[in-house]
Amino acid sequence: MPDVQSMVAEFVNKLRKRKIEGSQATAKCTVELLRSVISHQRVPHANQAAALIDAVKAVGQQLVAANPVELAVGNVVRRVLHIIREEDLSLTTAAMAGLDLLDASDDDDIDNCKGIGYPAMSAAVVAAAARSTLRPPSLQTLLEGTPESATVPYTSSSGADSESKTADKSSLTRKLKHDVIEGVNQLIQEISGCHEQIAEQAIEHIHQNEVILTLGSSRTVLEFLCAAKEKKRSFRVFVAEGAPRYQGHLLAKELVARGLQTTVITDSAVFAMISRVNMVIIGAHAVMANGGVIGPVGVNMAALAAKKHAVPFVVLAGSHKLCPLYPHNPEVLLNELRSPSELLDFGEFSDCLDFGAGSGSLQVVNPTFDYVPPNLVSLFITDTGGHNPSYMYRLIADYYSADDLVM
């Protein structure tokens, strides 16, 4: 346990100092940390799920507080919570179904049901709910009238049943933790594999001789473009350099190394060039529930220009970037100001910073992110396929439980 604590503390420190760059790396670190938290968590016999959830939540709150702007942390924590709830539900329903077969009116069973929080729900409905969580919603499940929230309002009731634990139950306990860790492992795989998943779709979106504009440096975009290149598409890429971090230079270097025709332009030339561009592809920092995108600074400008010239604006985002929150004033509240020294050399302007001598004051603004409202986005490409901005809220509902939205 203490080693988990120290791991958490270390990670919190890293987040706070912004040592971890990029939402994918952050997400991966977070989920790995959570996995060890779960595996080290001693689970009581009763209500293991609640215990796990509490533990994960406690750690998650620390992590989110350490870097509230890195939304991927919160997303991953919510995903893990969702996994725990799902596994728990499927186990109980399975157990319940088994018990149902034995004796539908068993007291113990009813107790169990109450503890879960569906006292009056028939086993069939619960099973349907479980199905809906495990499978993509089909027309049938929708028609069966199981509210989507059926899986959601599952509260971890105290349910201190002093009932005798059957052997069945203790195995169930171990099984839950095992299943959860299994699920978390799957999540890790999903996060590390999202590039390939997204890149696979590249060929459907890039045609021969296309001219693509991109901005900032995103591994997803790099893989996406390279995947199309490997499929023998020939196209050229304009890369806006992305001052003051110049991540565009980095991306350009990688693209050139992979043999793509690359042209580096200044950020100011985005509007001038957009009329000759067929598609704008950017990697998101986070995707909000309303379909808005938080991306590298300068993205909004490119999106507006693309809108003006009716150029498709495509956002690539792994599912760990889907954030279930609706943004309010995201330009300011979900942003981060970096060091002014990236813009102005302090040495050159130190004489101007003399406030006493009647000279004006000087502020330097160097934000990291930019918010693109959903109406400027043409398409999201996630690892599950392409989606409209207006569909994002629904996609997000698949990944998170409504309970966890506020942590």
- Which of 213, 208, 267 lies closest to 238 in space, CA to CA? 213
Q: Give Cα 281 distance to the centre of its chain.
A: 19
Residue 194 or 222 having the CB closest to other proteins: 222
Q: First-to-last CA distance in the chain?
A: 23
Q: Which of 332, 333, 350, 391 binds other proteins (CB under 8 A)?
A: 332
C-alpha neighbours within 13 Å on the C-beta side of residue 378: 18
What is the smallest separation between the CB atom of 253 and other proteins, expressed in angstroms?
5
Stretch of 19-27, 34-42, 144-152, 362-370 contacting other proteins, by CB under 8 A: 362-370
Residue with Cβ nearer other proteins (271 or 393): 271
Closest approach of other proteins to the CB of residue 307, in Å? 9
Q: How many residues bind other proteins (CB under 8 A)?
A: 59
Interaction pattern, residues 211-230, with other proteins; x per rule: CB under 8 A: --------------------
Contact call for residue 69 and other proteins (CB under 8 A): no
- Residue 276 binds to other proteins (criterion: CB under 8 A): yes
Q: Cβ of residue 288: shortest distance to other proteins, in angstroms?
A: 16
Out of 14, 169, 175, 253, name the contact with other proteins by CB under 8 A.
Answer: 253
Q: Within 363-382, which residues bind other proteins (CB under 8 A)?
A: 363-367, 370-371
Residue 63 near residue 12 (C-beta atoms within 8 A): yes
Q: Write the Ramachandran bin of 162: left for phi over 0, alpha for psi from -120 to 50, otherwise beta.
A: alpha
For residue 316 the two structure tokens come to 């690539």
Determine, following the binding rule CB under 8 A, whether residue 350 of this chain makes contact with other proteins. no
Measured from the CB atom, the residue of 297 and 311 that comes closer to other proteins is: 297
Q: Quick check: 297 binds other proteins (CB under 8 A)?
A: yes
Question: What whole-number distance in Å separates Cα of residue 170 and Cα of residue 405?
Answer: 31
CA distance 234 to 69: 37
Site map for other proteins, 10-49, x if CB under 8 A? ----------------------------------------
Task: Spell out the SS3 assignment of 206-231.
Answer: CCCCCEEEEECCCHHHHHHHHHHHHC
Among 56, 228, 301, 316, binds other proteins (CB under 8 A): 301
Question: Binding to other proteins by residue 107, rule CB under 8 A?
Answer: no
Are residues 57 and 13 in contact, defined by beta-carbon separation less than 8 angstroms?
A: no
Encoded tokens for 59: 């750690």
283 near 316, Cβ under 8 Å? yes
> Residue type for 73, please?
V
Written as six digits, the tokens of 275 are 């009329």
Enumerate binding residues for other proteins (CB under 8 A): 236, 238, 241-244, 246, 249-250, 252-253, 255-256, 259-273, 275-276, 297-298, 300-301, 304-305, 308, 331-332, 335, 342-345, 348-349, 352, 358-367, 370-371
